[in-house]
Amino acid sequence: MNKIVTALTSVLFAATLAPAATAAAPSPTQDTRLHLTAARTEGETEAIGNVWLDCPASGRPAHPHREAACHALDAVDGDFDRLNAEPDATCTDEYAPVTLTARGTYKGRTVDWTKTYTNNCEATVKTGAVFYF
C-alpha cells in the first residue's frame, strides 16, 4: 500500500509542476516580427530603405543592428512613440521630411505605426537603432 501511495504522490507532484514548466516556455506568438520602412516624403515619395526586424533572430536577412533595435523596443515595451534614443541631441532646421513605418507584431501585439519627422537627423535621434538601416 505504501508503494501505491508513494507512486500516486509522485504522479500528482509531477502533474502540478507541468503547467508551470509549460507557462515558462516562450510562445511563438510572443516573437517580434516587424517590417520597417523609411521614405523621403517631400514631393514624390522616395524609398530610403526597408528591413525586417525579428526578435529573436529568424532566417530572413537581418536588421543590421538587430540586437540594439530589439533592446530599444523592449525598453519602451514596443511603444514606438516613446523611443527617444538621443534626448540631448540637436538637429538643424532643414526641412526634408522622412516617414517611418513599422508593421507586424511586437511580442504578439499588432503594430501599425507611421510617423513623419522633419528630417533624417530628427528621425535618427528619436528612433536610434530601430530605424538605423
Averages of pLDDT over runs of 10 residues in the chain (133 residues) are: 40 38 46 96 89 86 91 97 96 96 97 97 97 94
pTM score: 0.75
Supply the pLDDT for residue 43: 84
Supply the pLDDT for residue 108: 93
Supply the pLDDT for residue 65: 95
Residue in the block written with cell 511563438: 28
In the sheet that holds 46-55, the strands lie side by side as: 46-55, 32-40, 98-106, 109-117
